[in-house]
Structure 1
């Protein structure tokens, strides 16, 4: 059980009386008038009540996570995030990097390095990100082609 000192009880009771609308002078008199036993009970009720609220919120959160996993909402959100991150097509990636369909991987990497460095020095983060996403897309395409030939 929580151990509460008399000083803490007086402070807590003073705070409660202020919240209830008592003035500072009457609050001090009210603190003295309230018995130590009543103040201790009020303090313990606040401590126990806050502990119960914390446990209730934690249990509700666990239940919400459980419900989300049962309905598949969590997986749907994760898939939407993945789709949004890889929304660039192969033709758009080639257009961003300025390479043709028959370009070699070395040519793509040269274009990527050149564009990435130019945007790192005096370009925008958005363009640099587009260049990087284009390289990632084409990298996946070239990996799937190399796996298909093996």
Structure 2
């Protein structure tokens, strides 16, 4: 008899808590849409999912400055790419490669030679 009462109390309590959580979530969504947080969060998610590397991020990965020549960028790329091929991970190696591609496009747009045929 006591077990049945305890089971009923647990079921009723969990349903009350579930309804309260749903109501709190709805209220949080309403508050977020009023303050513009929801749109900002969505825009940040879109930005992250676009997977486009910025020139600044590429420079940080290859550890080069804006005044670095293309030849120096390629030397740095070759060193990092080879090191990650031997001792690193595929993820790091692909980041290094994407950084080179990003900077290659940036140097091409700036009119500096990249040494690659167009």
Aligned residues: 65
Q: Alignment partner for residue 136 of structure 1, among 92, 96, 101?
A: 101
Q: Which has the higher contact order (CA 8 A, sep 6+)?
A: 2
- The gaps in structure 1 that reach 5 residues or longer are 1-79
Q: TM-score, normalised by structure 1?
A: 0.41
Q: Is structure 2 residue 61 aligned with structure 1 residue 112?
A: no
Q: TM-score, normalised by structure 2?
A: 0.52
* Aligned position for 2:66: 101
CA distance, structure 2, for counterparts of residue 136 and residue 128 of structure 1: 13
Runs of 4+ with >6 A deviation: none
After TM superposition, the structure 1 = structure 2 runs for residues 18-29 of structure 1, keeping only pairs within 5 Å, are none
Q: Alignment partner for residue 84 of structure 1, among 39, 50, 64?
A: 50
- The gaps in structure 2 that reach 5 residues or longer are 1-45, 113-118
The Cα offsets for residues 85-136 of structure 1, whole Å up to 9 and x where unpaired, read as 5x11000000000001100000000000000000001100000000000000
Which secondary structure does the structure 2 equivalent of 1:146 belong to? coil
CA distance, structure 2, for counterparts of residue 125 and residue 92 of structure 1: 18
Q: What is the Cα-based RMSD across aligned positions, in Å? A: 1.8
Q: Which protein has the larger Cα radius of gyration, Structure 1 or Structure 2?
A: 1
